[in-house]
Amino acid sequence: MSHQVPEDASLELLIDYCSGARAAAMAADLPEVAASLGTFRTELKASRDARDAAREYTLETSAVVRVRDTNWDAVVTGVSGAAFLAAGKKPDQDPYQLLFGTVKADEATGLGPEKAYAFGDTLLTRARAQNHAAVVPLLPGVVAANDALKAAGDARAAASLAELPHEVERRKRVAALERVIAVAEVAILTKHPGRADLVRAVLAWPRAPKRKKTTQE
């Protein structure tokens, strides 16, 4: 008898299945089957909690990137404004031309963390070489904002990578649950030979409810 678990079943759905099947096994006086389902449910919950922790860390690091990126935008815009005023509000004159003649500040603030850091690094190199009195005092702020943005971006990238193994873990759990179900089916039929109806009652995968057709359909 087939009780194949859907390949795309979420950990939550696997947990729900084990909860229902475990209760059914207890009602059918099948303590060993109930125990195996309960044990597997505990393992599923551990997998779910680990996955959720990874997701939460990704959300947290993404939030930090937003703040660091906003601060970086403000600092670079401030340097642009100071350089523009020092150039007599003429974009083709230094110090503005050298620093923002190719990529304007409003364009730089639209970059992602990696490209923004590269831009900031280039900006620092040019500004230090230029050594203009109106810009030099602002450079420590650029260094701090640039380093903070890079660190936040690196943390977010690492968090995203850390999430990937949890999908592999979910697929492993799907396969493992099928083995648990197969063993449970044998146990039921050993205790109650020929009771395919009892196997279905305890182990059948719940069918998705049929969607009602609308009048338009």
Residue pLDDT, tens place only, 36-89: 999 999 999 999 999 999 999 999 999 999 999 999 999 999 999 999 999 999
Taking residues 114-139, report their average pLDDT. Answer: 95
Residue pLDDT, tens place only, 69-79: 999 999 999 99
Question: What pLDDT sits at residue 213?
Answer: 56
Please say whether the beta carbons of 41 and 18 come within 8 A.
yes
Q: Is the pTM of this model over 0.95?
A: no
Tell me: pLDDT of 207 over 50: yes
Residue pLDDT, tens place only, 87-105: 999 999 999 999 999 999 9
Contacts of 19 (CB under 8 A, 6+ apart): 41
